[in-house]
Copies of this chain bind each other. A is one copy, B any other.
Amino acid sequence: MLNNDTIIALSTPPGSGAIGVIRLSGPEAISLTNQVFSGKDLAKQATHTLHFGLIKNNDVVIDEVVVSLFVGPKSYTKENVVEISCHGSNYIIQQIINLLINKGARAAKPGEFTLRAFMNGAFDLSQAEAVADLIASDSKASHEVAMQQMRGGFSTELKDLREQLIHFASMIELELDFAEEDVEFANRDQLRELIQRINKVLQRLIHSFEVGNVIKNGVPVVIAGKPNVGKSTLLNALLNEERAIVSDIAGTTRDTIEDEININGVVFRFIDTAGIRETADVIEAKGVERSLEKMKQAKLIIYMVDAQEEQAEVLKQLDELSKQATPFLFIVNKAELLTPSQKEFYTDHEALLISAKDKLGMDVLEQRLLDKVNLSNINTSETLVTNIRHVEALKQTQNSLNRVLENVNNPITSDFLAMDIKQALHYLGEITGTVTTDDLLENIFTKFCIGK
C-alpha cells in the first residue's frame, strides 16, 4: 500500500476561489517543486518556512505563489511535504499539477496523504478515520466526537486493554513452553477478573455506538398522524427555527440539509417524510398499522393529532402506537382550540400541546426530542464509538474473550486460551491498525477526499 514516490493533489475544494492549495508529499516533494519554482533555493530552506516566488514552465510564468515547506519527519505525512498556495483558478491549478506530474510526481489517490501519515506512524487507524469524520462533521456534537477520536482518546482506551491482554497472552505462551511441568504462570482468577473488566469496557464502547452513531449520522425522526393535522406546518416551524441557527454554523450546505434540524448540537434527520406523508393518508383507510410499519425506520416518532379529533379515535391511535417498539412523542396541534376538559384529557395522556402555525410550544417540543434520545447530558469528551467497523471489531473481541472465559478453568485448553486471546488481540488491533490488510486500508481510505 505504501509507495516511496512523491504524490500530488489539490487539497482545497475545487472551484474558483481566492486561493487554491496544492499538496505534495514524498522524498522528492521539495526537489520537484524546486525545479519549477523561481525564488529561493527550496532545498536550502529550513522546515516550516514560507517562500514567495513564481511557478514557471520553462520561461512561461504560470503563477505567483507562496510555497509552504515542511521537511520530514516534521510534517503531516512525516515525509517531505510542500504546499503550493496559488491563485484559485482551475486552469492554473491544473497547469501546476500537470507540470509537476511531468517532472515526476504522481497524482495522489483519495486519502493517500492520510494513509502515508498512518503508515509512517503519525497516528493510528482510528485516528485516521476520525480525520474524515472531522471533515464531514456538521454539528457541535459530531465535531466534538470526531475531534476526541482524532486526538487519540479512543486509541488510548484500547491500547490499555490491549497491553493487559498481551501480558496474559505471553504468560499462557510461557505455560505452553513448560507444558510438561504443569505450571501455571497466568493466574486464572486474575485472567477472569481482567476479562470481566475488559468486557465491561467493551460493553460500554459497543453500547456507546448507539449514541455515537446518532451523533455522527443524526436521529432519524418521522412526523406521523392523519392528513391535515399540521405535520408539514410543524416541520416548517422546526426548520425555520433551525435556519436561523444553521445560518450561524454552516450556511453553505443549507440546501442539502433541508430536512435536518440541529437542536443543541444534535442533528434530527427527517427520513423519507414524503413517503411517510403519503402513507399518512392510508391511516384513515386501513388503520395505523401499515404506516406504523414504515415508522419503524425511525428512531423516534412525533405522532400528531388535531385538537378537534374524537377522543375515542385518539385513544385507538395511542393504543396502536404503544404497541410499537419505537419511542414516540404524542403531540396535539391547534391547542388554542381546546376546551378545559379536552385539555385535561390530553394532559392525562401525556400529550404535548402545541400550535404549529403560531410556533407555540416549539421550545418544549425540542427539549422533549432531546430527552427522548437521551443525549442532552452526553459528555462528548468521553469515548464514543461512531464507526460501524469499530463496533463490529469490538463485538468480535468480546466473542473471543467470552470463549476465553468459558475455557479459563479447563487445564487442558491452554492452547485454546492462547488462540482466543490472540484472536481478541487481532480484532482490537484492527481498530487501531496494529493489524491491517490491504483490503481494509483500501476500504477505509478510498472514502477520503482526494488531497487529504
Contact = CB atoms under 8 A, between A and B. Distances in A.
Contacts of A451: 17-19
A11 B449 CA distance: 19
A156 to B, nearest CB: 15
A19 B61 CA distance: 26
Instruction: Tell which of A23, A64, A90 has the most Cβ of chain B within 10 Å.
Output: A90
Interface in A400-452: 449-452
A446 to B, nearest CB: 15
Interface stretch (A43-51, A159-167, A236-244): A43-51
A18 B70 contact: no
A413 B401 CA distance: 105
A17 B111 CA distance: 11
B91 A143 contact: yes
A139 interface: yes
Interface of A: 9, 11-21, 23, 48-51, 60-64, 66, 68-70, 83, 85, 87-92, 94-95, 98, 113, 131, 134-140, 142-144, 147, 150-151, 248-253, 449-452
Given A64-B150, A94-B250, A248-B94, A143 B18 contact: no
A262 to B, nearest CB: 10
Q: How many copies make up the complex?
A: 2
B87 A138 contact: no
A63 B64 CA distance: 29
Nearest to A448: B18
Contacts of A68: 50, 66, 68
Contacts of A250: 90-91, 94
B94 A251 contact: yes
Contacts of A51: 48
A61 B138 contact: no
Given A48-B49, A135-B89, A449 B17 contact: yes
A318 to B, nearest CB: 39
A186 B76 CA distance: 67
A21 B131 contact: no
Given A64-B150, A134-B89, A137-B92, A19 B16 contact: no
A16 B88 contact: no
Contacts of A60: 144
Given A50-B70, A136-B89, A449 B16 contact: yes
Contact of A452 (B18, B142, B251): B18
Contacts of A21: 12, 19, 21, 85
B13 A15 contact: yes
A325 to B, nearest CB: 33
A18 B113 contact: yes
A94 B140 CA distance: 11
Contacts of A49: 48-50
The 9 closest A-B pairs by CB, nearest first: A18-B452, A13-B17, A13-B15, A18-B451, A12-B12, A48-B50, A14-B252, A11-B18, A90-B250
A88 B13 contact: yes
A14 B88 CA distance: 12
Contacts of A137: 89, 91-92
